[in-house]
Homo-oligomer: A and B are copies of this chain.
């Protein structure tokens, strides 16, 4: 969606290393925003984005207008109608993943990409994309690239530009709380409720933070678990002021 940061550029470098022609799509996709979300406010910095993409050797940029992607009469949506879209971010953003699945299907068909690169920051999105790629038999291979963080620990996000200096400090509670859970996991804690409680308690200590969700699911199936004895996703969404931020870690 543009407003590119080091997280995106890491995706581009991974793509550059794995393939011989890299296309970046820069498109703030209207169909994945709900009516009261930040579609209009979402940062748009196309010229700066192009300079960054060029600096990492991206071969082409696909930057359509909304009317190119959704012309008059457009009415087809790809709907991933399973549990994986109803929990975590899907619970608060009911049409979000329909918009993601629809636009990503279009991007795959337009570019005919063989390999596609998505960030772990949107881990649920990766799960959803893998699901519809498999269900629709799309001939593309999905690669997940680890989260890129600032030195402070804050996960890189285009939405970080919304944060005031005070909020940016408060936002450190996301990664700090995940690190606490990770430390506990590494010391042997396997109880999902205990790990979630560690995170919740840490965030509750930050007055500017309001929890949207803190949850722990098997990964990539996103099934409820009581004990972390397989690969699992500890994910959270937290509002810092008016800005909704997400972060996660994979355990196991």
Task: Mark contacts of A98-125 with chain B using CB atoms, 8 A cut-off: 1 yes-contact digit, 0 otherwise.
Answer: 0001000110011010000000000000
Residue of B nearest to A132 (CB): B76
Q: Which residues of B contact A81 (CB under 8 A)?
A: 75-77
Q: Is the CB of B136 within 8 A of A109?
A: yes
Residues of B within 8 A of A110 (CB): 137
Q: Judge whether A131 is part of the interface by a CB distance below 8 angstroms.
A: yes
Give the nearest-CB partner of A139 in chain B. Answer: B109
Name the B residues within 8 Å of A135 (CB-CB): 74-76, 106
Tell yes or no: A188 within 8 A of B by CB.
no
Distance of A97 from chain B, by nearest CB (Å):
11
Kindly name the residue among A73, A101, A110, A136 whose own CB sees the greatest number of chain B CB atoms within 10 A. Answer: A136
A138 CB–B CB distance under 8 Å = yes
A208 within 8 A of B: no
Question: Are A78 and B80 touching (Cβ within 8 A)?
Answer: no
The answer on a CB contact under 8 Å between B78 and A78 is yes
Contact indicator B131/A76 (Cβ below 8 Å) = yes
